[in-house]
Amino acid sequence: MPSTRTLSPAIAAAGLVGGYAVARWTKKRSLGGVVLAVAGGVAGREWYRVAGVKGAAGLGAGYVAAFAGSHPLAKKIGAWPAVFSVAGAMAGASYAVARKAG
C-alpha cells in the first residue's frame, strides 16, 4: 500500500484539478466546491497524521491559497495551466512537509 507521503500530495492535487473539472463540466460551481472540500478534508487528515497540527494547518492554508491563487493566475496563463500549476505546487509542498516530518 502506498504511504501517506505519496497519497496526500496526490489527493491535494486531485482535489484542485478535480474540483475545477467538475465545476467546469457540470457548470455547477458548488459541485466543484464539494470535490475541492472533500479532497482537502481527506488530505488534511493525512497531513495531520504525518505532520501534526502545525503541518496540517500550514498545508491547509496553502491548499486554500492555491485555490484562490489559481483565479488571478488563470487570467494570465489560462484556466487549465493555472489549475495544473497550483496543483503541482501544492503536491510539492505536501510532499516536502510529509518527507520532513517522516
Counting the structural domains of the chain, the total is 1
Whole-prediction pTM: 0.91
At residue 5, the pLDDT reads: 56
**Domain range enclosing 90:** 4-101
**By the 8 A CB rule, do 60 and 40 touch?**
yes
Q: pLDDT tens per residue, the chain (102 residues)?
A: 455 556 999 999 999 999 999 999 999 999 999 999 999 999 999 999 999 999 999 999 999 999 999 999 999 999 999 999 999 999 999 999 988 876
DSSP type of residue 12: H
* Nine-digit cell string for 46: 493525512
Residues 15, 38: Cα–Cα separation, whole Å: 8
Residue recorded with cell 504525518:
50
